[in-house]
Structure 1
């Protein structure tokens, strides 16, 4: 009956074209075919199994029969090599991936094995596969864990991390299946784009990318730019301005908007700043683009970015926190001016900034691949975005065992203080039974505040947040132990497997008898998917579990996204709200927040489409310069006398190389300058709306002519250098001619648009400024 109902739901989804509507029926047919091969494949020796997999490489066509054979062989190989025999649902997941879908599999259903089977299938089809994970740890863990499976199937596998050396990276990319964090793949692509010798490039032509935690990578981080920077002597943040901003007072010198996403100087604030800086006029031509900009950035850093919420300070450095994972966002920073302002605010040493040599968003990086597929526990909620931005459909895979977790109705309180008091009381009550409890908090500050209150109540929680992430594995391993209370940020909300009874599972049955892991959410996230990921830590693979979320009308989610909610009518003595109308406030705020984030994604995508198109055109031209004699031919045509003079004493091979280096230098320099221009243009383009102009149209109108000048201008500069540079038999002395690339480069991610939820936020600030003037 359960199977029949699942199939009926699938057909209804398909009929209504609702998210997650990819039809599962064809894959069930393929699964049945896979199961018919079980006895035959089971009789093969290891050598025969490897040979059978190798025979698939010789097929001219890779159709349904080949998919069935791959999964039959991989199921047997996984059983022999890993001691894990894939369930039917894991085979369904692998089939969905091989057909280019994002598969939604419930937490704890074994997505890693499904992904490995699919990756092996792509490799046997003749495609190189990049398995893009969310961090280095998972890339190494999964590659090593699944290694014996790949070996038995005759498929080579490699992995790389942030610390991998160039030769290690090259070896990893030469494997048929490469595991890596998505950011590392992106950084290697950026480095390849600036190569001056074809032999220095290491990333192969993109074929297939299989994305782990697909909703997080494809949606939450899609608009995050990955940046390659070069050394320059950029100006650091002014400590005088940082100190000045610290002394400004809210509502007197500055105002914060209702959503606390933007901050503006008042008239009194502007006067105070002008007086402190020696009687200057902030709005004069001399200061409006420099001093005023620095003051505004410092004010944003001081007022809107909060320590232990948006970032932590550790080892004398500012570390951003990834708000969807609760972890330190390694290698991530805000745009240079804001990063420097936060560092000045915290009185820590300023980090290098440098000029941006190239950048690419995660979305643009993944869209390079002809085949994109992925897996996650929460895809249906973002099915519309996956379809819009990647033309991907979601395939929902049923659970292997029915989830028996008990999800209680959310509890809502009038104030933050009353909510936390009720939360501590609930935790203490459940803890008396010895049942393990996982408390999910929204940020580092809340995790520490709540743990303090629990200790005051006589409880001893274990805390896991970005400050002690090195202890993550140990803490998570025993989070399901008897009598354990774990307070964690979103670090424990995605990709972690909490075993009942602790790391050795010794008390498994005892914990099952108590009801399994009890998940308590201290507040609702801005995305329902993050709530679902946290709930999913309990009730895995048929185990019991429970969950409940607490919330208050003072939570940031409500104050930012539903500030005009109705006052509660029915309130208990402890502050708990019971009237149904107000109880829907949090869900409404969450839907608004998801809508805002979707609009930010769409808006960013609209601007980035043009930039990516320009990048493709430029890289095609650059590749021609890199791989042919086009540079020498063009410069010889532009300066024939100089070319003839050089040919008397210098071999053509040396001249071709020198012309190539000169041309690539000026081409890359113009592209870097163009990126800076586009960044500056986009930051102020919204102001065109005040003149009844469409900002996106105006962005295109200015960006296109500027781009069209890059190649002609680079040729002119190259011609000048070609005429002036000393070129001898040993090569060109380019440094003396000003052709000098950065002696150091580094990579990082930019936390794009940390404040504005749309153009309307800037309009508010501009209207305030106009009124004051």
Structure 2
């Protein structure tokens, strides 16, 4: 729809008149071109007055599309934060309670504070949730009409509410409408990353140093082979014999299959997980590095087996094991919302998959000012050394003219190494990677200054624009240099978008070589020397192959997760009925009617109801936690079923279904036994006298993404190969 020019801004109307006009709009106002245009123009005036930002026409067009259910692509620096506030206002006026889902605490707090005056001018309550918020603060924030919250915190609060034993303790997050920033990253790249609610479990702590020493003695090519993409490996017949001899076992595909799984995990940690690439060591701890965001993820860890294997490899003291209480995929969290729209600078390349998986429609909105950035053809090197030498030469040339440069690398190790190459050339770069991401704001703030050289691991999802200092536009603006293409074309585009924002000048160029990880892991280089055209084609093919593999794995992991998601829905429906109604009481009255009748006489109806609710919920939670632990353990090694010519997906679903079938009955029987054994003291049921399941202090973490070889990645590669 055309918004600009339809109505003149009512500049003489007071703030109160503008608010009143907005508040009397009908709930379905977005369906009418006239009503929607009036809404946007009045809100533009309020935004100008209250937060000093007058939305551009393209921002109004983006908001109009999103209010009609279409997610939008907007270039970096085009003002998505303001668009999100416009859309949130419209959704609230349409009768919705809105979560604006962002990347991190900083953005949630910043955007709530920044956009708050505009929303409150319309009479809309607005709050923010961060990881530091206590339960009381969270409960109040979710009662606001607009809540700015990191995606992970919304997920963790959903998980925490699933474990409440008293309805009064619920934070009541709700899942009505969501506006998703960086939508393609959240809905695709991070959609298979589980959010996990866990408790420390000393029984699971420990590392297997013996296995770490053993796998380090195995010889590549003789005892095991590594796939060309360096994402999975296999023991050879010789390697299997060495395992059997070393550990005196005879049936690695039967009774001793657990040992085979542990050996594979230890070997994976030894061979394929690299320090300063996949993880860093920090004060005696293994801290994971997000490949998509280039920073340490403080709340991420691998599943227990792989985490312990890396700790054993590095000869570190073991971290505490974990007892998984529940988990939630970000894709499942988003699926809980009744209405979802998103925005991103790179939405259109993902449009087909977003529609396939979420039925989300996408459209592009042009920039307010035409982009004049020069995106140059890739510069080719015959080796990584030749590539880096050329890149250092370009940076030095630009520095001599005082033009600022941003260099993006693929890993912590590469950023450190390239920073050293620049230093050796007499240059002084600022290096931003997972080792110093606390300095991010200061580094980014300086990146647009004359002569500044910034080396970063990845710029996607940082939520901070690089603004040009005075006089830099005349020098040509920011130059973005990429060392090797990223595994997704969308990441390439996000990096380029750091230059040339809002019509600024700028340029971008990638330096590539056949030694790049992308090419080595995904390419199929022909024998002999490649000419320029051949190398360009190889790089493009490698990126397409990497993207296709990720799409295949997303589809496959969705198939693996479908049954567990169904089981979780059934379980949560029952748990909610126990928490908020008398379902638990009904179950126990069928199992132990005499005991229940006696307890009513002894302690009264209401005290009995409260005690039964706690007992049944605790028993359900214990059984569900055990089920998740079993599923986690199962999927760690299910890919090995392909070696025995079994279908891993079929076997996984068969075993998971068999494990879940008796879960509810066993939980109810356990609860009945606890109630029968619990003594009556001081007019109530003494639950402390029986073995009631009460998890200790809980904590949260995110299992790392699949680049590091998570269990889903291993399942996917084996299953895809098997299905083909």
TM category, shorter: over 0.9
Structure-to-structure mapping, 1:679-758, within 5 angstroms: 679-686=632-639, 694-728=647-681, 730-751=683-704, 753=706, 754-755=708-709
Query: For 1:549, what is the secondary structure of its paired residue?
Result: strand
Structure 2 counterpart of 1:195: 164
CA separation of 1:300 and 1:728: change in aligned 2, threshold 3 A: same
Match of 2:15 among 37, 41, 46: 46
Q: What is the distance in 1 between the residues matched to 2:635 and 2:216? A: 29
Is 1:243 paired with 2:213? Answer: yes
Structure 2 counterpart of 1:621: 574
Structure-to-structure mapping, 1:262-301, within 5 angstroms: 262-266=232-236, 269=239, 280-281=248-249, 283=251, 288-301=256-269
Query: For 2:459, what is the secondary structure of its paired residue?
Result: helix
Deviation at 1:692, TM superposition (A): 6.4
Q: What is the distance in 1 between the residues matched to 2:696 and 2:155? A: 21
Structure 2 counterpart of 1:485: 453
Deviation at 1:176, TM superposition (A): 0.7
Deviation at 1:196, TM superposition (A): 0.8
Q: What is the distance in 2 between the residues matched to 1:763 and 1:747? A: 30
Structure 2 counterpart of 1:649: 602
Q: How many aligned residue pairs are there? A: 717
Deviation at 1:268, TM superposition (A): 5.2
Contact 2:380 2:513 survives alignment (8 Å):
yes
Deviation at 1:271, TM superposition (A): 5.7
Contact 1:649 1:729 survives alignment (8 Å):
no
Structure-to-structure mapping, 1:184-583, within 5 angstroms: 184-232=153-201, 233-266=203-236, 269=239, 280-281=248-249, 283=251, 288-491=256-459, 494-501=462-469, 507=470, 510-565=471-526, 567-570=528-531, 578=532, 580-583=533-536
Deviation at 1:93, TM superposition (A): 1.1
Deviation at 1:494, TM superposition (A): 5.0
Q: What is the distance in 1 between the residues matched to 2:359 and 2:143? A: 29
Contact 1:440 1:493 survives alignment (8 Å):
no
Query: For 1:350, what is the secondary structure of its paired residue?
Result: coil
Q: What is the distance in 2 between the residues matched to 1:385 and 1:99? A: 20
Q: What is the distance in 2 between the residues matched to 1:674 and 1:143? A: 39
Query: For 1:107, what is the secondary structure of its paired residue?
Result: coil
Contact 1:132 1:209 survives alignment (8 Å):
yes
Structure 2 counterpart of 1:12: none
Contact 1:406 1:546 survives alignment (8 Å):
yes
CA separation of 1:736 and 1:159: change in aligned 2, threshold 3 A: same
Structure 2 counterpart of 1:84: 53
Query: For 1:496, what is the secondary structure of its paired residue?
Result: coil
Is 1:127 paired with 2:106? Answer: no
Deviation at 1:728, TM superposition (A): 4.1
Deviation at 1:282, TM superposition (A): 6.7
Unaligned runs of 5+ in 2: none
CA separation of 1:66 and 1:567: change in aligned 2, threshold 3 A: farther
Deviation at 1:763, TM superposition (A): 7.8
Match of 2:543 among 562, 574, 590: 590
Structure 1 counterpart of 2:626: 673
Contact 1:596 1:757 survives alignment (8 Å):
no
CA separation of 1:682 and 1:314: change in aligned 2, threshold 3 A: closer
Deviation at 1:563, TM superposition (A): 2.9
CA separation of 1:284 and 1:602: change in aligned 2, threshold 3 A: closer
Contact 2:635 2:715 survives alignment (8 Å):
no
Contact 2:288 2:301 survives alignment (8 Å):
yes
Q: What is the distance in 1 between the residues matched to 2:164 and 2:716? A: 41
Query: For 1:584, what is the secondary structure of its paired residue?
Result: helix
Contact 1:412 1:552 survives alignment (8 Å):
yes
Contact 2:622 2:693 survives alignment (8 Å):
no
Deviation at 1:280, TM superposition (A): 2.4
Deviation at 1:269, TM superposition (A): 4.6
Q: What is the distance in 2 between the residues matched to 1:640 and 1:60? A: 53
Contact 2:379 2:510 survives alignment (8 Å):
yes
Give the alignment's Cα RMSD to 1 decimal: 2.4
Is 1:599 paired with 2:562? Answer: no
Structure 2 counterpart of 1:150: 119
Query: For 1:130, what is the secondary structure of its paired residue?
Result: strand
Is 1:635 paired with 2:605? Answer: no
Unaligned runs of 5+ in 1: 1-26, 502-506, 571-577, 767-773
Contact 1:132 1:211 survives alignment (8 Å):
yes
Deviation at 1:752, TM superposition (A): 5.2
Contact 1:104 1:379 survives alignment (8 Å):
yes
Q: What is the distance in 2 between the residues matched to 1:764 and 1:613? A: 23
Contact 2:101 2:148 survives alignment (8 Å):
yes
TM-score between both structures, scaled by the size of structure 2? 0.94
CA separation of 1:247 and 1:696: change in aligned 2, threshold 3 A: closer
CA separation of 1:120 and 1:345: change in aligned 2, threshold 3 A: same
Deviation at 1:491, TM superposition (A): 3.5
CA separation of 1:229 and 1:538: change in aligned 2, threshold 3 A: same
Deviation at 1:630, TM superposition (A): 2.2
Contact 2:290 2:705 survives alignment (8 Å):
no
Deviation at 1:632, TM superposition (A): 1.7
Match of 2:70 among 88, 101, 104: 101
After superposition, the C-alpha distances for 1:561-615 in whole angstroms (9 at most, x for unaligned) are 1133354454xxxxxxx3x233211011000000000011000111212221221
Query: For 1:738, what is the secondary structure of its paired residue?
Result: coil
Query: For 2:632, what is the secondary structure of its paired residue?
Result: helix
CA separation of 1:62 and 1:257: change in aligned 2, threshold 3 A: closer
Q: What is the distance in 2 between the residues matched to 1:422 and 1:448? A: 17
Deviation at 1:686, TM superposition (A): 4.4
Contact 1:270 1:282 survives alignment (8 Å):
no
TM-score between both structures, scaled by the size of structure 1? 0.88
Point out the more displaced range, 203-212 or 348-357: 348-357
Deviation at 1:347, TM superposition (A): 3.0
